[in-house]
């Protein structure tokens, strides 16, 4: 009976807890993302990335994560803001949400600075229930002169409390002869003022403070200056010493500000990153082309309409231009600066997508690897004249090998050989993020000895050697033109890759050691004995009746009558000379070292002309863009 009672209790407990267990199906994935945010991004001091992953995890959790997991995530958001970004106001807001989700949440004191620990203690009492959210600090009353300047500059907004993450439209008009106005603002926690030109519309001037300046609770300071046609200040709304102060808070009772002929702009979404592998995480993200109008908040220029660029977090009129060089984006379209790949998803560089450098200078070092091989390579007629070989006694550059070698041993097995090395300066012009055309000018090292040297007097069979050594005199100059298609474009942030075709002028010389048996030595010191019983100083060919001397026996490759065991091999350097023109195909990659620099690795296949041959050319380079 007691056993049955225990079984019933266990079954009842399972039934009661099952819905709760089933409800929090994303806890495991969420905790993995929290670990990634802290142990990967936070420890690498990438605080923006860490906060983005944490906020994205919270957003993707919905109601599928437990209060303990949500409290933990908000607690670490507070640490990132307070200890990483030194933003205690933001940390306080995160700790309030952590304590609201889980009143027993504990602070990770290993990562929290003393200031952050104090902020947490003030909110949660070291892990207790969340303290009531402190009331927003009262907005300091602006000096009368700032609110109603003597010149008569009249501006809105008139509200003193605005929600965080909301763009703030500012509209001013003046009784003076003002031809331009500029808005100055300083976000809470910032050390510097930022300037926005105001656009004239009707009788007033307008500008919109972006969400990047309103995403942190605290005091936002602003003032406006009006100028005449000579650039002199004629009026103002507030001043640097006595600015207009707007209090930013997560929740306010006042209506959001707007221009006098429109509705208040929508509140910006919290800056967060939705984890790509998180269950239930929605798609999309920043950078989507939305065609926003002037003054709308933005994160990059692809969000703005054509003719506008994202400047200081809002869509602003693009500067006028005459050429691409006039634009920081590198592209001039119809007299206005623009970005590449507007609206097609391209571009991922560090600034606005599509931005890339138009001109690239570089320095490269290349190693030629030639494929060589053949027979009779040092024969004066067959190899040195017909196949572009030049043969010299080993280690010399002025002692050519003009003698006739024993043909059955005068060969090279086909294979790859290290050849010339070259250093090049490069220039490439980008016509789009995917197309470049450029050239290389360089100098090659390690070429072979001079070609065309004549045989000395006394060499047998003079007609065979009358044209001298083969190949061409080494050409050290490298000239190259080429075009490239960047299938990972120049606007990519980290890795860029391309395929290329080209051609030019160059020579590749490759050296191979050959052990030759000189027919000039045939018969010297040889005699008919046990090791060479068939030796005959003068052999009569039974088919032709021709009498062959030992030299002619060697030259014709008679194995039976010429025994190379009686002669010592002569070491010879055989130089294969290829070029002096070439065609090429290849591929390479660039590792971006910043928006203006990159390291390249390249591999090319060259076909040399008219002295034909195949060459592989790996290349390392460094490039600077402007």
pLDDT > 70? residue 300: yes
pLDDT cut 90: percent of the chain above it: 25
Tell the residue number behind the tokens 């009143």, with chain if given.
Answer: 103
Q: Contact, 574 vs 510, CB < 8 A?
A: no
pLDDT > 70? residue 618: yes
pLDDT confidence band for 292 (50 / 70 / 90): confident
The domain defined by 144-249 folds into Immunoglobulin-like (2.60.40)
Tokens of 623: 């490039």
pLDDT at 436: 95
pLDDT at 344: 38
Element (DSSP H or E) covering residue 207: strand 204-209
pLDDT at 492: 84
Mean pLDDT calculated for residue range 22-36: 82
Mean pLDDT calculated for residue range 108-117: 90
pLDDT > 60? residue 609: yes
Distance of CA 197 to CAs 170, 184, 225, 339, Å?
Answer: 11, 9, 10, 21
pLDDT confidence band for 41 (50 / 70 / 90): confident
Q: Give the mean pLDDT of the chain.
A: 78
pLDDT > 90? residue 27: no
Distance of CA 52 to CAs 90, 249, 451, 614, Å?
Answer: 14, 21, 68, 52
Domain-wise residue ranges, the chain: 19-124, 144-249, 286-350, 361-517+570-625, 520-568
pLDDT confidence band for 288 (50 / 70 / 90): very low
The domain defined by 19-124 folds into 1.25.40
Report, at the CATH architecture level, how domain 361-517+570-625 is classified: Beta Barrel (2.40)
The residues that bridge with 601 in the sheet, in sequence order, are 589, 620
pLDDT at 432: 87
pLDDT confidence band for 171 (50 / 70 / 90): very high
Does residue 435 or residue 139 have the better pLDDT?
435
List, for residues 194-212, the tens digit of each pLDDT value: 888 888 888 899 999 988 8
Tell the residue number behind the tokens 């091989």, with chain if given.
Answer: 373
| The dihedral sign for the CA sequence 355, 359, 362, 367 | positive
The helix, strand and coil proportions of the chain, stated in percent and rounded to the nearest 5, come to 20, 35, 45
Q: What residues contact 266, with CB distance under 8 A and at least 6 apart?
A: none
CA distance 88 to 82: 5
pLDDT at 608: 93
pLDDT at 502: 96
- In 10 A of CB 279, how many CB atoms? 13
Burial code (b: 16+ CB inside 10 Å, e: under 16) for 604-622 equals bebebeebebebbbebebe
pLDDT confidence band for 480 (50 / 70 / 90): very high
pLDDT confidence band for 150 (50 / 70 / 90): very low
Tell the residue number behind the tokens 């959001």, with chain if given.
Answer: 256
pLDDT at 348: 35
How many Å is the Cα radius of gyration of the chain?
A: 41
Strands (E), 259-401: 308-311, 314-317, 332-333, 336-337, 359-375, 389-393
pLDDT at 465: 41
Does residue 51 or residue 144 have the better pLDDT?
51
pLDDT cut 70: percent of the chain above it: 73
pLDDT > 70? residue 243: yes
pLDDT confidence band for 79 (50 / 70 / 90): very high
List, for residues 490-534, the tens digit of each pLDDT value: 888 789 999 999 999 999 998 888 887 777 766 665 555 545 555
Q: What residues contact 382, with CB distance under 8 A and at least 6 apart?
A: 376
pLDDT > 50? residue 346: no
């Amino acid at each position: 009976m007691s056993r049955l009672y225990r079984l019933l209790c266990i079954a009842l407990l399972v039934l009661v807890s099952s819905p709760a267990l089933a409800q929090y199906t994303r806890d495991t994935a969420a905790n993995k993302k929290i670990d990634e945010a802290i142990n990967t991004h936070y420890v690498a001091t990438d605080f923006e990335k860490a906060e983005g992953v944490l906020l994205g995890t919270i957003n993707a959790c919905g109601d599928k994560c437990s209060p303990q997991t949500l409290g933990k995530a908000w607690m670490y958001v507070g640490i990132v803001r307070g200890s990483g970004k030194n933003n205690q106001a933001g940390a306080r807001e995160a700790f309030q949400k952590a304590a609201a989700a889980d009143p027993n949440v504990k602070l990770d004191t290993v990562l929290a600075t003393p200031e952050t620990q104090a902020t947490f203690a003030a909110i949660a009492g070291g892990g207790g229930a969340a303290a009531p959210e402190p009331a927003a600090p009262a907005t300091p009353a602006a000096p009368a002169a700032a609110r109603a300047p003597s010149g008569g500059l009249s501006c809105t907004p008139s509200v003193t409390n605005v929600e965080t993450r909301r763009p703030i439209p500012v509209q001013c008009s003046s009784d003076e002869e003002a031809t331009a106005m500029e808005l100055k603002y300083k976000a809470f926690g910032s050390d510097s003022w930022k300037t926005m030109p105001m656009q004239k519309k009707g009788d007033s001037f307008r500008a919109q403070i972006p969400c990047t300046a309103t995403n942190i609770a605290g005091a936002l300071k602003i003032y406006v200056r009006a100028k005449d046609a000579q650039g002199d200040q004629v009026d103002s709304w507030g001043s640097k010493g006595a600015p207009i102060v707007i209090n930013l808070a997560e929740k306010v009772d006042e209506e959001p500000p707007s221009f006098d002929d429109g509705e208040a702009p929508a509140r910006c979404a919290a800056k967060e990153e939705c984890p790509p592998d998180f269950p239930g995480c929605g798609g999309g993200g920043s950078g989507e082309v939305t065609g926003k109008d002037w003054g709308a908040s933005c994160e990059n220029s692809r969000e703005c309409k054509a003719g506008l660029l994202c400047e200081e977090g809002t869509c602003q009129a693009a500067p006028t231009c005459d050429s691409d060089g006039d634009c920081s984006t590198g592209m001039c379209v119809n007299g206005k600066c623009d970005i590449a790949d507007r609206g097609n998803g391209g571009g991922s560089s560090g600034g606005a997508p599509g931005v890339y450098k138009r001109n690239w200078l570089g320095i490269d070092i290349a190693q030629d690897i030639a494929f060589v091989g053949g027979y009779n390579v040092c024969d004066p007629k067959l190899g040195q004249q017909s196949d572009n070989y030049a043969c010299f006694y080993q280690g010399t550059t002025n002692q050519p090998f003009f003698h006739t070698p024993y043909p059955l041993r005068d060969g090279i097995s086909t294979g790859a050989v290290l050849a010339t090395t070259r250093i090049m300066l490069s220039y490439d012009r980008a016509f789009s993020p995917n197309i470049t055309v450029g050239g290389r000018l360089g100098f090659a090292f390690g070429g072979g000895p001079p070609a065309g040297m004549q045989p000395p007097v006394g060499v047998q069979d003079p007609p065979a050697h009358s044209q001298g050594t083969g190949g061409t005199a080494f050409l050290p100059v490298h000239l190259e033109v080429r075009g490239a298609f960047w299938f990972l474009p120049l606007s990519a942030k980290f890795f860029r890759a391309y395929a290329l075709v080209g051609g030019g002028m160059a020579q590749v010389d490759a050296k191979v050691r050959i052990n030759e048996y000189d027919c000039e030595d045939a018969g010297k010191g040889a005699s008919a004995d046990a090791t060479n019983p068939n030796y005959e100083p003068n052999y009569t060919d039974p088919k032709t009746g021709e009498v062959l001397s030992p030299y002619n026996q060697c030259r014709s490759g008679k194995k039976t009558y010429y025994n190379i065991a009686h002669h010592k091999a002569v070491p010879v350097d055989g130089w294969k000379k290829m070029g002096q023109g070439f065609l090429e195909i290849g591929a390479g990659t660039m590792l971006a070292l910043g928006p203006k620099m990159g390291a390249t690795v390249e591999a090319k296949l060259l076909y040399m002309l008219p002295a034909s041959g195949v060459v592989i050319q790996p290349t390392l380079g460094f490039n600077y863009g402007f």
